[in-house]
């Protein structure tokens, strides 16, 4: 007996070993009832014996069971052979050959309309098969090449809610089977339009992953539109990647073998350089040339170069939202000639002035928590003097090394006198 894989391959090949006219029909309820619907087919290859022969029995799941028989075998005896080989109980079997032949229990094959070289009374008909997304055959239909896809759907339960596909192409209702080169033994895939929702994931460059509820027949263009509504990323800037391949807008998820829980990557298409404005709260403005793929951090670096404001002290605001350094210009929906507001963050620093004995004034950036010792050390380094020779005076008082500037109520733009003590004083 052939292996399961061999049977599947045999069936998927279009059952070319069968005569065109020896196929019966699946019961339309066969996948859903307790009985097993089986098709009987007669191979084209002639037998060496006029008495011994082999028939092929095809299950509703597509398995082909080759079965040695004799013309004198009854339907009951055939069922017993199937039960012995395949462990399908007799009362669960329904045999079909153009009609249900199970009712002829005691009749032999020779007395039934199952013959080699038989001819179909109606010329121009062919048998096609319909499978679901799981690969299970759910229908066998007798059709004409001139039948439209809509005609075929009418033969399927709930067909108006379904989509038929062949060779990874969605079949339009008004087109004929011949138009899509559907031939005898072809297998079409049937999927539901709306009932078979599935969840897929999309990784965005900002390291954000979003979840989308889609159907296999959704096009890539449909998916991009959903992302636009959810993330406000313009459709024309989206490039969808799956298995290392950029996906065409007209293709469906089914075309690209994208199934439930698949993960796609979303890349951004560059729109080229553009000008944006940076405005401070005091009304000063500069123009910066950027690319939509630049991060906010990149923009801050450009501002630092132009305005000498340290990167870490900048906050950029757009549409009343403080922008994150890792977000891109495009992520923030910043377009040509947009205006960003620059706010300087308070780092706790302040500027004080150190007045030396020579009349020189030093502008120094310090914190209120700095100790007098720290400030003296900085002055000594700047002036090239031993720190032990320096003394600081504020409001006429000498400052103690261990105390802080805050302890002496030294604030922004305060002036401190630096006195050099001579050695030996």
pLDDT tens for the chain, residues 1 to 425: 444 444 444 444 434 344 333 333 333 333 333 455 565 554 444 344 335 677 777 765 566 778 888 877 888 888 888 888 887 777 777 676 655 555 667 777 766 655 443 333 334 678 899 988 778 888 888 888 888 998 898 888 766 678 888 987 888 888 889 888 888 888 998 887 655 678 999 998 667 899 999 988 788 999 999 998 888 888 888 889 998 888 988 888 888 889 889 999 998 776 678 899 999 888 889 999 998 888 899 999 999 988 888 888 899 999 888 999 988 888 888 888 899 999 987 667 888 999 998 889 999 989 888 999 999 999 999 888 888 889 999 998 999 999 999 889 998 889 999 998 876 55
* pLDDT score recorded for residue 96: 64
* pLDDT score recorded for residue 134: 78
* pLDDT score recorded for residue 38: 60
Are 274-344 and 350-420 in the same CATH fold? yes
Q: Where are the domains of the chain?
A: 4-111, 126-192, 198-268, 274-344, 350-420
The candidate with the shortest Cα–Cα distance to 211, out of 227, 191, 195, 193, is 227
* pLDDT score recorded for residue 372: 94
DSSP secondary structure letter of residue 44: S
CB atoms near residue 169 (< 10 Å): 12
DSSP secondary structure letter of residue 135: S
* pLDDT score recorded for residue 122: 38
* pLDDT score recorded for residue 424: 55
The CATH class for the domain spanning 350-420 reads alpha beta
* pLDDT score recorded for residue 25: 36
Beta strands in 50-204 (DSSP E): 52-59, 64-70, 93-96, 126-131, 137-143, 162-166, 169-170, 187-192, 198-204
* pLDDT score recorded for residue 423: 63
* pLDDT score recorded for residue 123: 43
The CATH class for the domain spanning 274-344 reads alpha beta
* pLDDT score recorded for residue 158: 66
- Which residues face 10 on adjacent strands? none
* pLDDT score recorded for residue 61: 57
Three-state SS annotation for 335-387: CCCCEEEEEECCCCCEEEEEECCCCCEEEEEECCCCEHHHHHHHHHHHHCCCH
Whole-angstrom distance, CA of residue 152 vs CA of residue 156: 7
* pLDDT score recorded for residue 45: 41
Question: By three-state DSSP, how is residue 227 classified?
Answer: helix
C-alpha dihedral over 155, 158, 163, 166, to 10 degrees?
Answer: -30
What backbone torsions phi and psi does residue 92 show, to the nearest 5 degrees? -95, -5
Whole-angstrom distance, CA of residue 61 vs CA of residue 37: 9
Element spanning 225, H or E? helix 220-231
- The pTM (predicted TM-score) of the whole model is 0.32
* pLDDT score recorded for residue 346: 66
* pLDDT score recorded for residue 355: 93
Question: Does domain 198-268 bear CATH number 3.40.718.10?
Answer: no
Question: Does domain 126-192 bear CATH number 3.20.20.70?
Answer: no
What backbone torsions phi and psi does residue 277 show, to the nearest 5 degrees? -110, 145
């Amino acid at each position: 007996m052939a292996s399961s894989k061999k049977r599947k391959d045999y069936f998927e090949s279009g059952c070319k070993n069968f005569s065109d006219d020896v196929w019966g029909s699946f019961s339309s309820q066969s996948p859903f009832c307790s009985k097993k619907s089986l098709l009987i087919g007669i191979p084209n290859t002639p037998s060496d014996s006029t008495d011994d022969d082999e028939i092929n029995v095809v299950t509703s799941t597509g398995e082909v069971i080759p079965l040695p028989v004799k013309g004198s075998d009854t339907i009951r005896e055939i069922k017993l052979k199937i039960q012995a080989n395949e462990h399908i109980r007799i009362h669960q079997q329904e045999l079909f050959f153009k009609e249900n032949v199970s009712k002829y229990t005691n009749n032999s094959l020779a007395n039934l309309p199952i013959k080699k070289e038989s001819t179909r009374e109606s010329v121009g008909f062919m048998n096609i098969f319909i499978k679901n997304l799981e690969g299970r055959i759910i229908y066998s239909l007798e059709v004409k090449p001139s039948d439209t896809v809509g005609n075929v759907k009418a033969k399927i339960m709930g067909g108006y809610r379904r989509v038929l596909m062949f060779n990874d192409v969605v079949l339009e209702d008004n087109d004929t089977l011949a138009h899509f080169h559907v031939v005898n033994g072809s297998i079409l895939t049937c999927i539901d339009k709306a009932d078979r929702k599935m969840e897929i994931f999309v990784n965005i460059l900002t390291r954000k992953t979003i979840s989308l509820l889609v159907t296999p027949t959704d096009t890539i263009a449909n998916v991009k539109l959903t992302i636009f509504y959810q993330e406000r990323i313009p459709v024309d800037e989206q490039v969808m990647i799956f298995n290392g391949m950029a996906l065409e807008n007209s293709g469906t998820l089914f075309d690209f073998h994208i199934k439930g829980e698949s993960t796609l990557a979303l890349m951004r298409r560059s729109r080229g350089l553009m000008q944006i404005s940076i405005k401070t709260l005091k009304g000063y403005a500069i123009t910066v040339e950027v690319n939509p793929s630049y991060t906010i951090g990149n923009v801050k670096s450009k501002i630092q170069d132009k305005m000498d404001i340290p990167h870490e002290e900048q906050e950029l605001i757009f549409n009343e939202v403080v922008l994150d350094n890792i977000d891109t210009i495009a992520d923030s929906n910043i377009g040509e000639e947009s205006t960003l507001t620059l706010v300087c963050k308070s780092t706790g620093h302040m500027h004080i002035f150190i007045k030396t004995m020579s009349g020189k004034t030093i502008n120094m950036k310090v914190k209120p928590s700095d100790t007098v010792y720290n400030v003296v050390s900085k002055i000594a380094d700047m002036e090239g003097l031993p720190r032990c020779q320096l003394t600081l005076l504020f409001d006429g008082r000498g400052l103690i090394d261990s105390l802080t500037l805050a302890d002496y109520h030294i604030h922004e733009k305060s002036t401190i006198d630096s006195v050099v003590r001579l050695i030996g004083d």
